[in-house]
Structures are given as structure tokens and as C-alpha cells.
Amino acid sequence: MSLHQQDSGDGGDARCGHCGATAVGPCARCRSPVCGDCCVLTEGSAKVWAVCLRCRDRGGASLHRAWLTVAWWLIAPLVVLFIFVAILANTIGK
């Protein structure tokens, strides 16, 4: 049983900013180290992101929200066009 303490790499034991446990990786948004218990996985795009709870509470899954915003800006003109055509068709039909 030896008691030698070797440094396992520079910054290898980064601590979680929430609970102080050993961090497993950086947050995808604020880049602060988080442990497995203090992060949530966000499946926004093709890649799965680990976002810390603080960022989750602050901006929600903004990766998701960004995609929803893009989808909304794509769909909204189509909806307006559809309503316009429907009203026009109804007017002509009479």
C-alpha cells in the first residue's frame, strides 16, 4: 500500500460548480464544469448537449427554443398564406 499522490493531469479534478463533486464535463452553454447529477442532457439537434441546471433554469432548453423559433418563422408565413387563400376561396365560392 503506497501513499504516493500523483497529479492526474492538469485540471483533471475539476469540481462541479453546484455541489462540488468531481465534474464530468463542461456545460455546453456557460462552460462551467458540472458533475453528472447537476447537468441535464438536451437533445436539441443531432448532438446531445450537457447543460448545467443553472443554465437550464435560466434559459430553459434554449437549444430547443432556437429550433422552435426557426420552425415558427418558417411555418408562420405558410399559415398566413393558407388563411388568406381559404378566405379568398370562400369569397370566390359565394
Chain residues binding Zn ion by CB under 5 A are 16, 18-19, 21, 27, 29-30, 35, 38, 52, 55
CB of 53 to Zn ion, least distance (A): 8
23: which DSSP letter?
Answer: P
Which residue number, 52 or 63, has a Cβ lying nearer to Zn ion? 52
CB of 44 to Zn ion, least distance (A): 14
CB of 34 to Zn ion, least distance (A): 6
Which residue number, 20 or 83, has a Cβ lying nearer to Zn ion? 20
Residues in the chain: 94
Number of H helices and E strands in the chain, helices first, is 2, 4
**AA letter at 73:** W
Which residue number, 59 or 80, has a Cβ lying nearer to Zn ion? 59
Q: Are 41 and 59 in contact, with CB atoms under 8 Å apart?
A: no
